Structure formats: structure tokens, C-alpha cells
Amino acid sequence: MNLVSRFEDAVWLDPWVSGARGAVNSIVRSPWLRDVLHGVPVGHPVHPLAVQVPLGAWISAAILDAVPGSDRAAGVLIGVGAITAVPSAVAGFTDWSELHEQQQRVGLVHAAANIAATGLYIVSLVERSRGRQTRGRLFGYLGLATVSAAGFLGGHLTYRQAAGVNHSEDVPHRFPAGWHGLAPVNEFADGKLERRMVARMPLLVFREGERLHVLSDVCSHLSGPLHEGEVADRGEPCVVCPWHGSAFSLRSGEVVGGPATAGQPRFSTRVMNGVVEVSLPGAG
């Protein structure tokens, strides 16, 4: 097991995880603001987009620091990086507050490394302002090394631990094309969430009067079982995930409330001889 994977099981981090999560949840309270920081309006997590600015500025500063006579420009870029790291961090912490515990342990180390890197860049700026350019460059390069290590942890969090990715992306690739029997239509009571297996995949079924709505039962955020959630009226009937509270329209599958940013695959339905059949557009 490599060092990064060890962080996943580092239970000694849990008191810090708990404290930081409580702080984030008490600071970023507005559901509307949380949705914006998660990236619900753009359908994609905001954090990986936002980090482009400080990282780009800091990498550019490192290049300029190797070019004689570019100290002032390098200092400006380091300052831009330090300022824009703040909104990136706020978005990242908001996402992090609604992850699994193994992801939160790695995420906390990722955040601590980024905070340390930002501190090194601020020291670099202070040294430059005092005319100590060589020390300023040294702290700048230490900051770059630290933020690169933090980026490696962020990669592990995303690509190994699947934080921030769409956990429903595979559904159209795994579900067979065409129409498939679901269950007799009279099995479904009005207003109740039901789970049925079709082609060995779990589907969420909701009856609204004469209409049946069928979505993937696996939450796009982190695979929570939607049929164990609740029905809520958010201007239209929605299912609220039992794990982190994402809300999806039962009519369309679209995200109505985060932390999920990707909608649920929605199945077409028809009734043949009293049996509900489903088909997934684009499947197979």
C-alpha cells in the first residue's frame, strides 16, 4: 500500500476531519450558495475549474523567476495566485464536506498541503517586498513543490477514490438497448419510491397519478440508494438522496439540489398488457 492510500484509513485524522467539516458547514450554510460552490448551475464541480487560476499563476511565476529581470512580474503572479486560491479552497471544502470518510481523510491532507503552499507563497511575497529576491524565489519554488504534492493527492481523490465524478455515467453503457419488462403496473402505489432490478441494474420507480417515472437508482453523487430517500415537493416531485441530500426531479432526472452536479439517467416507459416496460435512450 502506498503512502497516499494509507491516508484513506488514517483514523487518527478523524477528529480533524470532524472539526473541519463542522466549521465548513457552519460557515457555508446557505443551500443556494452551497449549490453554486458545488457547481450545480454549470453541471460540473467548480473546484477543479477554479484551481486553474492559482495554479496557472504560480507555475507562470516559477518560469518568470528563472528569467532575469522578471522579479516584479513574478511577484504579481504569486499575489494573484494567493488571492484566487481562496475561492478555489471554499469550493473545494464545500465539496469535501459531503464525501465519504476515506475521501475526507485524503481530502483533508490535500487541503492542508494547499494551505501550506499558500503560506509559502505569502512568505515569498514578504521576502520580495523586503528586497530579498533570492529568498523570495526559494520560497516560491518551495510553494510550487508543495502545491504539486497537493495536486497529486487531489488526483488520487478524483481518479482513485472517484470524488466529484458522475457515478451514473456507466448506466447507458451497461443497460441493454430496447424495451425491457419492469413489473406489472398495478404493483406501484401512487407517490411511493420503489426499486426494481432490470438487466441486473437497480432502477427507481415513482408513480405520479397515471404517470410512471423511472430513473437510475444509483445517485450520481456517490452512488447512494435513491429508493431509500424521500419524496419532496420542490415545485415538482423530487427524490432526496438519503446519503448527502441531493435532490433530483422525478420527472426529468435533473439535479434540483446538490451536492450532485450530474442528473440521473431517465428511462422511457410504456405499458404492454399490464406490464411496465422501460427503455433507456442512448443505451447499449
Q: What are 117's three cell numbers?
A: 503552499
Q: Does 221 bind ligand FES (CB under 6 A)?
A: yes
Q: How far is the CB of 104 from ligand FES (least distance, A)?
A: 13
Element (H, E) at 61: helix 52-64
- Closest contact distance (angstroms) between CB of 243 and ligand FES is 4
* Residue 163, helix vs strand vs coil: coil
Q: Would you say 106 or 219 has its CB closer to ligand FES?
A: 219
- Does position 243 bind ligand FES by CB under 6 A? yes
Residue 159 CB, shortest distance to ligand FES, in Å, is 19
Whether the Cβ atoms of residue 246 and residue 260 lie closer than 8 Å to each other: yes
Stretch of 8-16, 66-74, 125-133, 219-227 lying at the interface with ligand FES (CB under 6 A): 219-227
**Residue 2, exposed/middle/buried by CB under 10 A (0-12, 13-18, 19+)?**
exposed
Joined grid coordinates for residue 68: 532575469
DSSP 3-state of 263: coil
Q: Which residues of 29-60 are buried (b: 16+ CB within 10 A; e: fewer)?
A: eeeeebbbbbbbeeeebbbbebbebbbebbeb
**Packed helices 71-96 and 133-155: angle between N→C axes, nearest 10 degrees:** 30
CB of 37 or CB of 183, closer to ligand FES: 37
Query: Of 180 and 221, which CB lies nearer to ligand FES in the complex structure?
Result: 221
Q: How far is the CB of 36 from ligand FES (least distance, A)?
A: 17
| Number of Cβ within a 10 Å radius of residue 65 | 24
The answer to the question of residue 37 lying near ligand FES (CB under 6 A) is no
C-alpha triplet 111, 133, 71: angle, nearest 5° = 85
Smallest distance from ligand FES to CB 209, Å? 26
Stretch that binds ligand FES, among 16-24, 169-177, 183-191, 240-248 (CB under 6 A): 240-248
Among 260, 262, 280, 283, binds ligand FES (CB under 6 A): 260
Q: Does 241 interact with ligand FES (rule: CB under 6 A)? A: yes
Q: Which of 75, 224, 253, 257 binds ligand FES (CB under 6 A)?
A: 224
Comparison of 105 and 221: residue with beta carbon closer to ligand FES: 221
Residues in the chain: 284
Nearer to ligand FES, 16 or 243 (CB): 243
239 binds ligand FES, rule: CB under 6 A: no
**Which of 215, 222, 267, 264 is CA-nearest to residue 245?**
222
Q: Which of 88, 246, 249, 264 binds ligand FES (CB under 6 A)?
A: 246
DSSP state of 259: S
Q: Is 238 in the site for ligand FES (CB under 6 A)?
A: no
Rounded Cα distance, 236 and 83, in Å: 40
Does 38 engage in binding with ligand FES (CB under 6 A)?
no
Binding site for ligand FES (CB under 6 A): 219, 221-224, 241, 243-246, 259-260
